[in-house]
Structure 1
Amino acid sequence: MNRTKKMAKTLGVLSLGFSIALAGCGKQTDTTTTTTATPAPKATDAAVQPTATPLAPVELTYYFPNSPQKDLQTVEDAVNKLIQPKINAKVHLKLIDWGAYEEKMKVVMASGEPYDLVWTAGNFNNYFQNVANGAYAPLDELIAKYPAMKSGIPDMFWNAVKVKGKIYGVPVFQQSTAGYGYEIQKAVADKYKIDWKSVTKLSDLTPFLETVKKNEPNLIPWEYSQQIDPFLTAPPMFGMETLGDPKTPGDLYLKDGGKVVNQYETPEFKAYVTMMRDWYTKGYLRKDAATLKETAADRKAGKNALMMGQIDIDSIASVEAGLTPSGRMSSFNPDIQSYDFQFVKPLLTTDKASATITAISANSPNKERAMMFLNLLNTDKEVYNTLVWGVEGKHYKKVDVNRIETNKDGGYQIFAPWEFGNMTLTYLSEGDAKGNDQKSMQMWIDLNKNAKPSNALGFVFDFTPVKAEKANTDAAIAELYYALASGSIDPDKYLPQFIDKLKQAGSDKIIAEKQKQLDAWKATNK
């Protein structure tokens, strides 16, 4: 699989995936009528069943993040041409740049603006906090009307987005099984005979980065941005898992699973920021790493020699399966191939199962129609791929039944099949391993459906009792975290200050509340 969320991702995510037309993903029938709950549709008909009353036309507003796209209007027009006959609606695509998205949505939600759909996540544009604040509508009754959509997403994903037993967002079934590792440009690894398979931990990359720094002045040895911070986006790399969201104090050790700890006070965090200080002072990161919001331009230009990756199936596993991988880096630039190596085994945690979600605003005047659109994104391959890849012949060309090549000059390259609907519908692109497409797709689906669960999979932290402390610790983290985690400031001086600011903001109270809720959850989930 290629692309990690950036989160991006987390971002997260942050890789592209494989596709399959599952049961319920067939051609849609006309649905320009009101809907009622019906029995599960046949496998070839995932549409809403019509009744006698025509649907009035509506316009939907859909906020989501990505890098700016010159030809967004063409894609919006194409999506609307597909959905208008089906649900008598048009959608306005409100794409916001990654770096501005979280702040923009805070303003939108605070203003009471009546938008309809919004991309959110457990670790970005904080889904759980926004639920606690009443920003999103409860969706259980609406979801029940669309059994094909619901059955296409494993129960563990639905459980990960529940808050107090209710669902407030539709999770994307994507590459959520959290195996981690790194990506290295194939040309660099081959040129300097780098033993890229020898890595067992992040610090093992230091000599590779030094080789790049000494010999490749036009490359950035290590990619870092606020969306791609290993400690926040890959807690299992440090033997931990997130409870609630990755920034808020209070994690679990994977080997324990019982005691909530302040991750910023752990030896693992101190070792991480110390290593990053060393990397930063040696010039392995961009000088503006602490304030850098995203790195899409660097990726497209092939400037990053090495980067962290959320990796489910790496280069070794792909080759063993008879595939020819070009690596995740090639999804951004076909001319840049990479070796992808996983050194932290896959694990499904609540934060990864909730890593990309579409919610409906509590203020939406068109909640049911918004859910109809979400149903199409989860069951209609043409609607889904138009939003993800654009218009055939302009933004991409088909090279096989389910494989495309993107047009880098077409004006629409978001590389985000993990951001919308059900990722099993996606076309394969340049970065996906070539060979048996059905086999590579099934490897990904099996891995995610049969993932090893974490100790707290399904536990969702309710922020309500500590809303004030959450806001205060968020402010302290915004002030110092990225400067520390990028190595831009001396941890010997600033790490104690950071921990002290967190304590003054209420971190101990948050951790105590997490422990209380986790103990109660465990008592009822034995």
Structure 2
Amino acid sequence: MKKFSKVMALFLIFTLCITSLAACGKGKNTNNQNAGKVSGGDTAGTKDTSKDDKTKDPVILKWIQIGGQPNNMDAAVKNMNEYSIGKIGVGVEFTYLDWGIWGDKVTAMINSGEKFDIMFTNGDKYSSAVSLGAFADITDMLKDTPDLQKFVPETLWSGAKINSKIYGVPTYKDSSQTQYWVWDKELVDKYKIDYEHIETVDQLDPVLYKLQDEIKAGNITGTDYALTTAKDGINGFLMNYEGPSAALGVRFDDKNAQVVNVFEQQDIMDILTHMHKWYKDGIVNPDAATLDQGPAWVIVSSGQGFPGSDVDWGKGRGKDTVSHPFAGPLYSTGTILGSVNAISSNSDHKAEALKYLELCNTDPKMRNMLAYGIEGVDWTDNGDGTVTRTPDCYSPAAYSQASFFTMSPVAPNSADQWTKVQEWNEKATSSVLLGFSFDRTNVENELAACDLILSRYKQELYTGTSDPEEVVPKLYSELTKNGGLEKIRTEYQNQINEWLKTK
């Protein structure tokens, strides 16, 4: 009997060992519902020397991202998972939603309660998802990720707040907005254009007329117009106003936070009036209002950027550029919410998801893998603080992932590119509405009606095709009569006033 007991005991011990080993092989989250997801691959080969043996049962998070699925995806994600699991016991699998479907798809996912752990979001998508209870409140959880909480400036955390709570990790990058006049360097040098002292349309005006004369004389070739634009006109010219509609907003420096008709304001009317004058005088291309995108090369244009952007602008134009800001840098709720990663309120791994976002934002090695893929395959380290990417490499939308400031710049950008951007952010002015989030629920129909009306006017207004002295009064009359503009104004102002009481 004793011998039989010993045999049975040994059999039970053997069975328990086999069961334990099988359990250790379970690495993947079972929330794998969408087509298009990409797994991080087998992590069984990961070695772990940490005391708590994190890789025994790694958590694999599902992260919803924007854009087309990058090349070399399986290998890149497997590589980063080996690193992150070794560090914190957490890996990831991505579901990429292409640019054209991202907005509708994330709305459908949230409305249906589809499972995910982390989701890239922005602007109104973030606010509306919070109002539906789709994103977890991470305000108190941040104390468990002190490196992340400290790394992201308080201004950005404030911009991500809704009703004093934080529901997502804002991406710390070129988070303030700056608009530049971007010039062809060769023409600047040839005509000795004092571009560093041109900010307003009044200052730009005589230069454009001089350049147009040179075009007519045949001294400048490659274009018939000194100012070639697409249908958005001067890109970013409304940036100093924040509102639920382009036609309605609060100026960033108005301490009274009064909602105004944006197109009636003197600074905006000056721009619209100059555009119309330039259009009539043949300085602006006559097809501007119908163009979704202008030509690659132009003499001068407006662009949103940051210190060092001339490298990319020059590559895009095929010629060197120089630039000078005419507005900003400015922090607003909108600029900060341009990129946020939120954790699902239905996630079974909220703490792990936040810890993973902390690693992505604060660990340079992890950040480079996340943005660039596998070193030696997708990119090489130049040894000077920059990297060079290989052809057809892994290339996701880096702005949607994590901070730029732990990521190596891509040559020919300088090694201090992101340091300069970080310093530029520190100069930014904060909008009086920073941290305010508008609840559109009570005026959704009115906003839709106003957007429809505005769509019939804005291209011709922005490009100078129409006379703003005639069009702006007509526009506001129709917005008021048929769009419910005053209801929107009242709702927006009331919410601002209530929010100001809590500051």
Q: CA deviation at 1:353?
A: 3.0
Which residue pairs with 2:44 in the alignment?
Answer: none
1:33-432 to structure 2, matched below 5 A, reads: 55=57, 57-65=59-67, 75-85=76-86, 86-97=88-99, 100-122=101-123, 126-202=125-201, 204-205=203-204, 207-208=207-208, 210=212, 215-217=220-222, 221-222=227-228, 224=230, 229-232=235-238, 234-235=239-240, 241-243=241-243, 247=246, 249-252=248-251, 254=253, 257-277=256-276, 282=282, 284=284, 287=287, 292=292, 302-313=296-307, 327-330=311-314, 336-362=319-345, 364=347, 366-407=349-390, 409-412=391-394, 417-430=398-411, 432=413
In structure 2, relative to structure 1, the CA distance for the partners of 1:362 and 1:266 (3 Å cut) is farther
State the alpha-carbon separation in 1 of the partners of residues 263 and 360 from structure 2.
39
Q: CA deviation at 1:421?
A: 1.4
Deviations 1:297-336 (A, max 9, x none): x6xxx5344332345547xxxxxxxxxx954414657x64
Work out whether residues 175 and 418 of structure 1, in 8 Å CA contact, stay in contact via their aligned partners in 2. Answer: no
Q: CA deviation at 1:403?
A: 1.0
Work out whether residues 390 and 412 of structure 1, in 8 Å CA contact, stay in contact via their aligned partners in 2. Answer: yes
Q: CA deviation at 1:76?
A: 4.2
Work out whether residues 87 and 373 of structure 1, in 8 Å CA contact, stay in contact via their aligned partners in 2. Answer: no
Work out whether residues 228 and 288 of structure 2, in 8 Å CA contact, stay in contact via their aligned partners in 1. Answer: no
**Identity, % of aligned positions:** 23
State the alpha-carbon separation in 1 of the partners of residues 388 and 180 from structure 2.
26
State the alpha-carbon separation in 2 of the partners of residues 50 and 33 from structure 1.
19
Please tell me whether residue 469 in structure 1 is matched to residue 468 in structure 2: no
In structure 2, relative to structure 1, the CA distance for the partners of 1:200 and 1:58 (3 Å cut) is closer
Work out whether residues 277 and 487 of structure 1, in 8 Å CA contact, stay in contact via their aligned partners in 2. Answer: yes
**Secondary structure at the counterpart of residue 92 of structure 1:** strand
Structure with the larger RCO, 1 or 2 (CA within 8 Å, 6+ apart): 1
Gaps of 5+ in 1: 1-31, 35-47, 236-240, 315-324
In structure 2, relative to structure 1, the CA distance for the partners of 1:84 and 1:328 (3 Å cut) is same
Q: CA deviation at 1:337?
A: 2.7
Work out whether residues 116 and 366 of structure 1, in 8 Å CA contact, stay in contact via their aligned partners in 2. Answer: yes
Q: CA deviation at 1:157?
A: 0.8
In structure 2, relative to structure 1, the CA distance for the partners of 1:284 and 1:111 (3 Å cut) is farther
In structure 2, relative to structure 1, the CA distance for the partners of 1:100 and 1:481 (3 Å cut) is farther
Moved more, 150-159 or 77-86: 77-86
Larger Rg: 2
Deviations 1:417-459 (A, max 9, x none): 543312211212336346xx3xx65554344346443333333
State the alpha-carbon separation in 2 of the partners of residues 340 and 141 from structure 1.
43
Question: TM-score scaled to structure 2, two decimals?
Answer: 0.73
State the alpha-carbon separation in 2 of the partners of residues 489 and 380 from structure 1.
52
State the alpha-carbon separation in 1 of the partners of residues 421 and 165 from structure 2.
28
Which residue pairs with 1:512 in the alignment?
Answer: 490
Work out whether residues 61 and 117 of structure 1, in 8 Å CA contact, stay in contact via their aligned partners in 2. Answer: yes
Work out whether residues 223 and 306 of structure 1, in 8 Å CA contact, stay in contact via their aligned partners in 2. Answer: no
State the alpha-carbon separation in 2 of the partners of residues 488 and 120 from structure 1.
35
In structure 2, relative to structure 1, the CA distance for the partners of 1:401 and 1:94 (3 Å cut) is same
Question: TM-score scaled to structure 1, two decimals?
Answer: 0.70
In structure 2, relative to structure 1, the CA distance for the partners of 1:442 and 1:381 (3 Å cut) is closer
In structure 2, relative to structure 1, the CA distance for the partners of 1:521 and 1:313 (3 Å cut) is same
Q: CA deviation at 1:374?
A: 1.7
Q: CA deviation at 1:164?
A: 0.8
**Secondary structure at the counterpart of residue 89 of structure 1:** strand
Gaps of 5+ in 2: 1-26, 30-49
**Secondary structure at the counterpart of residue 62 of structure 1:** strand
* Paired residue type of 2:98: I
Work out whether residues 404 and 418 of structure 2, in 8 Å CA contact, stay in contact via their aligned partners in 1. Answer: no
Deviations 1:255-312 (A, max 9, x none): 55432212134344444344445566747469476563x78xx6xxx53443323455
Deviations 1:49-84 (A, max 9, x none): 95889545435132224x775555554454444434
State the alpha-carbon separation in 2 of the partners of residues 212 and 62 from structure 1.
51
In structure 2, relative to structure 1, the CA distance for the partners of 1:492 and 1:82 (3 Å cut) is farther
Which residue pairs with 1:502 in the alignment?
Answer: 479
State the alpha-carbon separation in 2 of the partners of residues 330 and 431 from structure 1.
11
Work out whether residues 229 and 485 of structure 1, in 8 Å CA contact, stay in contact via their aligned partners in 2. Answer: no
Moved more, 487-496 or 108-117: 487-496
Deviations 1:203-231 (A, max 9, x none): 64454474796634269954546698323
State the alpha-carbon separation in 1 of the partners of residues 221 and 456 from structure 2.
33
In structure 2, relative to structure 1, the CA distance for the partners of 1:465 and 1:51 (3 Å cut) is farther
Q: CA deviation at 1:251?
A: 1.9
State the alpha-carbon separation in 2 of the partners of residues 104 and 194 from structure 1.
48
* Paired residue type of 1:158: W
* Paired residue type of 1:346: P
In structure 2, relative to structure 1, the CA distance for the partners of 1:420 and 1:63 (3 Å cut) is closer
In structure 2, relative to structure 1, the CA distance for the partners of 1:291 and 1:358 (3 Å cut) is farther
Work out whether residues 245 and 447 of structure 2, in 8 Å CA contact, stay in contact via their aligned partners in 1. Answer: no
Q: CA deviation at 1:196?
A: 1.9
Work out whether residues 250 and 510 of structure 1, in 8 Å CA contact, stay in contact via their aligned partners in 2. Answer: no
In structure 2, relative to structure 1, the CA distance for the partners of 1:135 and 1:486 (3 Å cut) is farther
* Paired residue type of 2:321: S
Work out whether residues 367 and 407 of structure 2, in 8 Å CA contact, stay in contact via their aligned partners in 1. Answer: yes
- CA RMSD between the two structures: 4.1
Work out whether residues 58 and 89 of structure 1, in 8 Å CA contact, stay in contact via their aligned partners in 2. Answer: yes
Work out whether residues 461 and 471 of structure 2, in 8 Å CA contact, stay in contact via their aligned partners in 1. Answer: yes
1:422-501 to structure 2, matched below 5 A, reads: 422-430=403-411, 432-433=413-414, 437=416, 442-449=419-426, 451-478=428-455, 480-482=457-459, 484-487=461-464, 491=468, 495-501=472-478
Work out whether residues 476 and 502 of structure 1, in 8 Å CA contact, stay in contact via their aligned partners in 2. Answer: yes
